[in-house]
Amino acid sequence: MLESIFQIIVFPGFVFLSVAGVFAEYIDRKLYARFQNRQGPPWFQPVADFIKLLAKEDIIPEEAEPKLFSALPVVALTAAVTAIFYIPTWGLNALFSFEGDLVVVIYLLTIPTLAFFLGGWTSTSLYAMIGSVRTLTQLFAYEVPLFMAVLAPAILADSWSLSGIAAYYSQNPLRALFNLPAFFVALVAIQGKLERVPFDIPEAETEIVAGTFTEYSGRLLAYFRMAIDIEMVVCAALLSAVFVPLWVNAPALGVIVFLVKLLVMIFLFALFRSIFARLRIDQMVNFCWKYLAPAALFQLALNFILKGLLN
Amino acid sequence: MGKVTIPIGPQHPALKEPESFAITLDGEKIVHMNVNIGYNHRGIEKSCEGRTYTQAMYILERVCGICSHTHATCFIQGVEEIAGLEVPKRGLYIRTMIAELERMHSHLLWLGVAGHEVGFDTLLMYSWRDREIVMDLLELVSGNRVNYGMNVLGGARRDISPEQAKEILKGMDLLEERTKYYIQVASEEVTLIKRLSKVGYLSHEDALKLGTIGPTGRASGVDTDTRRDDPYAAYPELKFKVVTDNHNDVYGRVIVRLGELIESYNMVRQLVNNLPEGPISVKAPRKIGPGEAVSRYEAPRGEDIHYIKANGTEKPERVKVRAPTLANVQSVAKMLENGYLADVPIVIAAIDPCFSCTDRMIFSIKNPDGKATGSMDWKALREYSIEWHKKQGVDFSKAKIR
């Protein structure tokens, strides 16, 4: 009981995720800056930004529904935090696990996106509404390839639970190599989920100011930003749990291995962000259905065949 | 969501200067677009009338932060023409060199802005870093980074020493290498090409009809360049080719500007290597005129035109500035026809607009009932102008218009 409470609140729960989110943002920004030949922010910059936003006034548009408007950032934050409980972090076993928790994690990761959409829609600003329509359009484009790409390893492992997948690939690490195409599909689709270049279309600064977040300010914006940071960590953890068969079942060493995996993922995210231009929404949808979805389907078919051959 | 009209400007992150574009959208598609200019009247033309020619030159240098040398030189050329001054060769060479260095930093700046508008911030950071090379050269030569103040009536203000010449040549080699890299990036980076090609399409016929100039026109195959067609300063003695392209889209405009950069490097090399000996300026009279002159100059953004009327005193009677953006801005509405909202920032940026240089005061004319109206149609404007000229003693009411 006590251990569970500790795990929920401290590690890998809320406290760890908040700290990790802040540091992930720092590392992402620093790497992005170094890729661009800039100095980049000091290590405390994301914390300073967060504290500054907390101290600012919350402005709620008159036309908006105040309760919904202020509840959405918290909903996004909670959903992102909850997802980590089903993902194996430092050891092979997640905090909670059951057959099918893979679907739950994907579902929980969709909630922040829906919160962004509703947040933009309820703020009734034109820029925010266009941003939220784009958020939803984009969701339909990347969600299917992402789900299929994460499902493919599960098919081969014959378990729809993330802990089960981790256990299977830690026994047969080489079989994870079969999933490389799915890994790339998931990596690209995750950029859409996190709304980062080349898929940062919903918050394209030069077109629609800040997109869905245009009307958000102060504490509420701070929560949204924290939710995005935590989502980034959770997505990195999900990718490394499903696709990287590298596990040490010892507490201290396990945590270090986990953090290294996170860093590698965040490095890849930052690399993506610095080498591409932002696509247009129609190009993005085209790309996802023309290339990502078939690639994910191919992987699914491949894994069905492999499953018959290997197991 | 039905049809909505969203305002881009007067304040918007995509715009660096206040300007208003009202865009009617159906989903992501543009249905209609309205361009409104006139937010940034600064009264520079009028203030020139109260100043001496030298002072007016310094005021005009501040018309634009990017093409400052353009406006100063364009003005000073006209004044020298009225005064009949023969500027020494060396002075002309130095002027031309600053002009080309200015074109380089303007185009490199534009490349970065274009990258930013399509969400490719890495390109922005890289090209602005390389732009520092040419900014440093300008500082080395003139002492300033933005408003160089290299002109005096009758020549150039500062001479160029052999050491400076060496530094300039070194900088050109470095910049040429970097520009070739950007040409490679522009021709290979998939997302960049996707965002730029077939965007902001302006056919050759439309480009001619709308009177586009500079790189915007040249990317639609309009082969005009004041440097070649009506050469001034040291351009008659330089070998260069006018870069044109027939992509007719934003991608073509990138190609044209990158090509012009390479041409500029070669021009500066020619200028430095063939710098003639002699004085850099001649003494100019304080009182100029009477007389009038129209001066043309190829700015980085297109042709810049100044009209100067002198009345024999030390102050100009009238100065009129036509900045190149005025000729290009109306083509934006054509380029965005059937376009996407996402293309608005890059298409606006692709003409390399300089709104503050373009804007003049909007004179709102009163109706007979005494209420001010914001705009006039063509007929009302014609009637107003006939009335106005009648008061000056000329009757245009019988003049035929096409």
Band of pLDDT at residue B234, cut at 50, 70 and 90: confident
CB B17 within 8 A of CB B356: yes
Taken as a whole, chain A contains a residue count of 311
Q: What is the pLDDT of residues B120-165, one digit of tens each?
A: 888 899 999 999 999 999 999 988 888 888 888 888 888 889 999 9
What count of other Cβ atoms lies within 10 Å of the Cβ of residue B30?
20
- Whether B114 has a pLDDT exceeding 70, the answer reads yes
Q: How distant is the Cα of B109 from the closest Cα of chain A, in angstroms? A: 16
> Which range is least confidently modeled, A245-249, B115-119, B343-347, B383-387?
A245-249
Please give the share of chain A, as a percent, with pLDDT higher than 90. Answer: 14
Chain B positions touching A35 (Cβ under 8 A) are: 122
Chain A residues with a Cβ under 8 Å from any Cβ in chain B: 35-38, 126-127, 129-130, 133-134, 197-198, 200-201, 204-209, 274-283
Residues in Cβ contact with B196 at an 8 Å cutoff, skipping those fewer than 6 apart: B114, B118, B186, B249, B250, B251, B254, B346
Q: How distant is the Cα of B86 from the closest Cα of chain A, in angstroms? A: 48
Taken as a whole, chain B contains a residue count of 402
Mean pLDDT for the stretch of residues A20-43: 90
Task: Transcribe B71-127 into DSSP letters.
Answer: HHHHHHHHHHHHHT----HHHHHHHHHHHHHHHHHHHHHHHHHHHHHTT-HHHHHHH
Across A84-93, A194-203, B15-24, B100-109, which has the greatest mean pLDDT? Answer: B100-109
Question: What is the separation, in whole angstroms, between the first and last Cα of chain B?
Answer: 44
Q: What is the ipTM of this complex?
A: 0.81
Q: What is the pLDDT of residues B343-369, one digit of tens each?
A: 888 888 888 888 878 877 656 666 656
User: Which of A37, A209, A277 is facing B120, going by the closest CB pair?
Assistant: A277
By CA distance, what is B339's nearest residue in A? A280
Mean pLDDT of chain A: 86
Chain A positions touching B181 (Cβ under 8 A) are: none
Chain B positions touching A127 (Cβ under 8 A) are: 6
Q: What is the pLDDT of residues B179-227, one digit of tens each?
A: 999 999 888 888 888 888 888 888 888 888 888 888 998 998 888 888 8
CA-based nearest residue to B141, from B200, B76, B96? B96
Q: What is the pLDDT of residues B242-290, one digit of tens each?
A: 898 888 889 999 999 999 999 999 999 999 999 888 888 888 888 887 8
Chain B residues with a Cβ under 8 Å from any Cβ in chain A: 1, 4, 6-7, 12-14, 25, 27-28, 115-123, 125-126, 129, 189, 191-192, 194-195, 340-345
CA-based nearest residue to A59, from A219, A172, A181? A219
Mean pLDDT for the stretch of residues A167-173: 82
Kindly state the DSSP code that residue B336 receives in the 8-state scheme. T
Rounded to the nearest 5°, which phi and psi values hold at A182?
A: -60, -35
User: Which of B125, B191, B343 is facing A37, going by the closest CB pair?
Assistant: B125
The answer to whether A37 contacts B341, with C-beta atoms less than 8 Å apart, is no
Q: Domain ranges for chain B, please list them.
A: 44-312, 365-402
**Alpha-carbon gap, residue A84 to A64, rounded angstroms:** 32
Q: What is the pLDDT of residues A228-261, one digit of tens each?
A: 999 999 999 888 888 888 777 777 787 888 888 8
- Choose from B111, B116, B118 for mutation: most chain A CBs within 10 A: B118
Task: Transcribe A79-148 into DSSP letters.
Answer: HHHHHGGGS--SSSS-SS--TTHHHHHHHHHHHHHHHHHHHHHHT--HHHHHHHHHHHHHHHHHHHHHHH
**Alpha-carbon gap, residue B156 to B151, rounded angstroms:** 5
**Residue numbers of the domain that contains A218:** 2-310
> Which range is least confidently modeled, A103-117, A272-286, B30-44, B318-332?
B30-44
**Alpha-carbon gap, residue B179 to B189, rounded angstroms:** 15
User: Which of B4, B27, B119 is facing A204, going by the closest CB pair?
Assistant: B119
Q: How many CA atoms lie within 13 A of A81 on its CB side?
A: 23
The answer to whether B122 contacts A275, with C-beta atoms less than 8 Å apart, is yes
DSSP reduced 3-state for A57:
coil
Q: How distant is the Cα of B122 from the closest Cα of chain A, in angstroms? A: 5
Chain B positions touching A213 (Cβ under 8 A) are: none
CB A115 within 8 A of CB A195: no
Tokens of B337: 């026809």
Total domain count for chain A? 1
CB A145 within 8 A of CB A291: no
Q: Quick one: fold of B44-312?
A: Cytochrome-c3 Hydrogenase; chain B (1.10.645)
The whole-model pTM stands at: 0.84
The answer to whether B116 contacts A206, with C-beta atoms less than 8 Å apart, is yes
User: Which of A197, A282, A283 is facing B119, going by the closest CB pair?
Assistant: A197
